[in-house]
Chain A
């Protein structure tokens, strides 16, 4: 754990690790992410001209994940939410920071330990077509993890278990012999979920799992995920850009903006009493199904678009679009500070929104 000895380390980014009392599911966190940072490029040497553009995709992200809970992660494209998931799986190597899984740092694990980690931490991706091998039958896809983790299930039990799993995700037993092209998008996502369940993981990273699905199918997959979570007490890191989906499924929510966590709190805290101006603007921009709830007059229209992560604003990264920004916002980046309405609620803003009376 020699990583992360940079300046930001000195700041009060490490949150109190006291067990939050308001979450019934809370116990010791199974995953503690601290000061995660991921820069892309800048290595030099590669490519023509080797311009040293550094994309600061994730900057100083810290959060905990508790057993059996769903932590939603929302943000617009380029906010770094998928990069967080990819570094946690070591699909991308982090630049610095640590991620403690049951107290052991994922980022310093050797290949053997990683294999054991991935047994406990599985992933489902956005694009169900791209995440399954078109030349492998469903049976081969689902049973492949058992050929890597040989101690889980004797081979003669594979066919039965594959079919049980298919049933538990709402498919038919005879679907096992089929190939991916014979399924619809929603069915493929179910197969991806079944494959992720083979090793009975403790954590499931869900990277935009329902974004590619139609509304009617999306609801089926969300229900399935919730059922599996209840049955097996799996913790979800649920990454999505759809605010209403995240609200529905999450116990706690992290709002990300340009590589940083802007706000973190329980679902009710973030959605009912947002403290960060960005959260407020984001929530108000979402078209609402409830009539008369959001009208265009109380919609906060942000100016411009998200700046490039290759050249992010100094200090608070939201300040260039923020209506509250003052000189101080351009200096030191604000800490993810605990808000007065509870230690679960944190916002990184010098001028947080007032709590309603």
Chain B
């Protein structure tokens, strides 16, 4: 994949949180890019830096305590992080939109839902192409809300969790962004509703031809909807590649261990294979490779020297000293 065609490129992004007592290194040099029309999943456990990465891209990082200490976020050749905030606000919405996990806190409780969607058109000065309210109602219909004309006059608390998430999606795609960032969009939802929302996202993505960054901790969701995946650990992208390839033949011990720890039907009756120990304390990251204290493949070099990205196979990136051997071991099983 060529870097020039990338829609969004995150280069060596570093974000830290300065609390009174310590510095928490939430993101430690993350690199990835998204191409037009692609669905990229960012997979990681809590504290891996995936959501902080999303809020940094959206310029929603609360500062203080959060500070971007390095790196770039290039969107079609512009570094988003360097834009004045008012220019970014004009640009976002039309270019990059965000859907978060908790739709109830993302919507304003005291305004009607239709009004909140129509605000997208008003704020971005798009009042010439028809009445904003009418367009909001069309959007509600498009995301599958029954009786959209009536529902537009309801307040967020009158919607169920799944319906609120639909409203969020309507708002996000109002101005036809080229990139949608969905941060755990279905984590708070039940599995049957999750399937509906994932289906809707796939439909809208297809209609709009937009790229999606899907942030999730759910391996199943990644397998289901994403084209490519970044596996994050300790604030870095430790493995990147096509979903099917990464999941079948992981080239990073963490990816492999994560897959192994998920309960699967064919292992019924056997013990699960957990990852030993706990995720790293982001204020006191281990030396060398951040995964080495929990890694089955760790050797001396892992304790002292941070691994650099390697390419064990075409189209794959793995940040591991033993990427080649891990990859070949997983090919052979």
Interface residues of A (CB under 8 A from B): 76-77, 184, 186-187, 214-220, 222-223, 226, 241, 243-245, 247-249, 267, 271, 281-282, 284-291, 294, 296, 299, 301-302, 305-306
Contacts and interface: CB of A to CB of B under 8 A. Distances in A.
> A-B pairs with the 9 shortest C-beta distances?
A287-B220, A219-B274, A248-B263, A216-B275, A76-B190, A219-B261, A219-B272, A285-B195, A214-B45
A282 B199 contact: no
A219 B273 contact: yes
Contacts of A285: 191-192, 194-195
Interface string B270-313: 01111110110000000000000000000000000000000000
A99 to B, nearest CB: 27
A289 B45 contact: no
B265 interface: yes
Contact of A282 (B191, B259, B265, B272): B191
Nearest to A224: B274
Given A218-B274, A245-B263, A296-B199, 16 more contacts: A76-B190, A222-B263, A241-B190, A248-B268, A248-B272, A281-B192, A287-B220, A287-B223, A289-B247, A290-B265, A299-B195, A301-B196, A302-B192, A302-B196, A305-B162, A305-B193
A247 B192 contact: no
Contacts of A294: 224
B195 A301 contact: yes
- The CB with the most chain A CB atoms within 10 A, among B161, B221, B271, is that of B271
A287 B263 contact: no
Given A222-B263, A244-B262, A291-B248, A215 B191 contact: no
B261 A216 contact: yes
Given A215-B45, A289-B220, A244 B263 contact: yes
Contact of B272 (A222, A241, A299): A222
Contacts of A184: 278
Contacts of B261: 215-216, 218-219
Contacts, number: 115
| SS of B interface (majority) | helix
Nearest to B43: A215
Nearest to A295: B224
A239 to B, nearest CB: 15
A290 B224 CA distance: 10
B264 A290 contact: yes
Nearest to A78: B190
A291 B265 contact: no
Nearest to A283: B191
Contacts of A284: 195
Given A76-B191, A244-B264, A291-B223, A217 B199 contact: no
B258 interface: yes
25 contacts: A76-B191, A217-B275, A219-B261, A226-B271, A241-B191, A243-B191, A244-B264, A244-B265, A248-B263, A281-B192, A286-B220, A287-B220, A288-B220, A289-B219, A289-B259, A289-B264, A296-B199, A301-B195, A301-B196, A302-B192, A302-B195, A305-B160, A305-B161, A305-B190, A306-B190
Contacts of B275: 216-217, 219
A112 to B, nearest CB: 40
B147 to A, nearest CB: 13
Nearest to B270: A248
B165 to A, nearest CB: 11
Contacts of B247: 289, 291
Interface string B163-198: 100000000000000000000000000111111101
Q: How large is the interface on B (under 10, 10 to 19, 20 to 34, 35 or more residues)?
A: 35 or more
For chain A, what secondary structure do more than half of its interface residues adopt (helix, strand, loop), or is it mixed?
helix
B217 A214 contact: yes
- B195, B264, B267, B275 pick with most chain A CB within 10 angstroms: B195
B265 A271 contact: yes
A306 B163 CA distance: 12
A279 B311 CA distance: 43
Contacts of A222: 263, 272
A243 B194 CA distance: 14
Contacts of A77: 190
A203 B262 CA distance: 26
Interface in B26-72: 45-46
B240 to A, nearest CB: 19
A105 B262 CA distance: 39
B206 to A, nearest CB: 12
Contacts of B204: none
B154 to A, nearest CB: 15
Given A291-B247, A291-B248, A215 B262 contact: yes
A247 to B, nearest CB: 6
Nearest to A248: B263
Contacts of B278: 184, 186-187, 217
A271 B268 CA distance: 12
A299 B259 CA distance: 23
B79 to A, nearest CB: 33
Contacts of B265: 244, 247, 271, 290
B7 interface: no
Contacts of B271: 223, 226
A290 to B, nearest CB: 7
Contacts of A302: 192, 195-196
